[in-house]
Structure 1
Amino acid sequence: MDIQLNDGLSFDIFKKVTVSCPVIFTTAFDQYMLDAFRENGIDYLLKPLKKADLGQAFTKLEKLKSHFSSDIVEALRSAQEGQSGLRKRFVAKKGVSFKSVPVDEIQYFFSEHKVSFLVNREGEKLILDKPLADLENELDPDVFFRINRKYIASISGIESYRSFEKGKLLVQLIPAPREEIIVSQEKASVFKEWMEK
């Protein structure tokens, strides 16, 4: 979409019509860049247009389309839910693609900067689109335990645990994260019972 039209700016169209598709903006001026990206802009090409720049813009569009393809993600999600309501697999993001991970290959889940991750047996760290609180309700409580506000571990993901200060427990996960994993004093006895099931 060109920004400067004979009868005004194309941004006026966005005030009257909802445009939900991505837009590649073109103009001879650079002062509209912020406005363009506020209006679904995925690229901002200055005139005179270069064929290579336009090609890159369309390549970017194709990458975004595959990344946000809701049909594929929804199909994978529906295939992963068992009749019991407990997950059999999770769809997680690796780079720009999605990967289906069976629950029995997940060592633990964790949250960092309000983003949820899963770690599989190979040590891959993959991004999930749900908070830990939601994930916890979809996991078998005999297999997974909410260690603390940042971690949910599977029984196979726990290498060992030991007593820690003031009745807490220090848990060793596989593969080992970069921080100490602590079970609170309040949860310590429940955790020990769960480990013995």
Structure 2
Amino acid sequence: MPSSADMPGQDVRVARTRADVARAALAVLRAAGFDDLTHARVAEQAGYSKTTLYAHWPSRLDLLRLALDALGTLPHPRPTGDLRTDLVAELTAFRGSLADLRLDRVLCGLADGSAGADAAPLRDRITAEAQYGLRVLLAPRFAGARLDAALSMLTGVVACPSLMVGALPDDAALAAAVDMLIGSGEDSVR
């Protein structure tokens, strides 16, 4: 996050308030999820009044944007050079982010339509960040619609069970999805 020195003319107190609220929003998101990312909860966590939060960040999407800014980028493991291992590691990291940040609820909240058109850039930001490592790994092998389908299939194997049945996939499901996409040499049905 930029410091007040990076923002000419910005009051140090404003920068400190922004940083405090961003950390608090991220803490609420991690602890309670998107449903509880409210001005009241974030104000209580940050030690500021709701009035202050509403004055600077009038919507829940503003609070979510702050939380994502405080988070930075999602974790992506360092590639090993083995495509299968690297894809499974990316899916494992994405699963961890879903669990840690409850991103499934965030995406669901952004997709349900009640958040309006302002939600699309945040949804796209989360999706692009979640798919970044997979895209880098798969781009040499797939392009265009095939790359988009591969990305959707792999991120879907993590996100869909969470959204539809309330459980994250285990390691075996992640490995099976990668094997189905890139082939593992095992063609038998089990």
The TM tier, using the shorter chain, reads under 0.3
User: Based on CA coordinates, which of the two structures has the bigger radius of gyration?
Assistant: 1
RCO comparison, higher one (Cα < 8 Å, 6+): 2
- Between Structure 1 and Structure 2, which shows a larger proportion of helix residues? 2
TM-score, scaled to structure 2: 0.27
TM-score, scaled to structure 1: 0.27
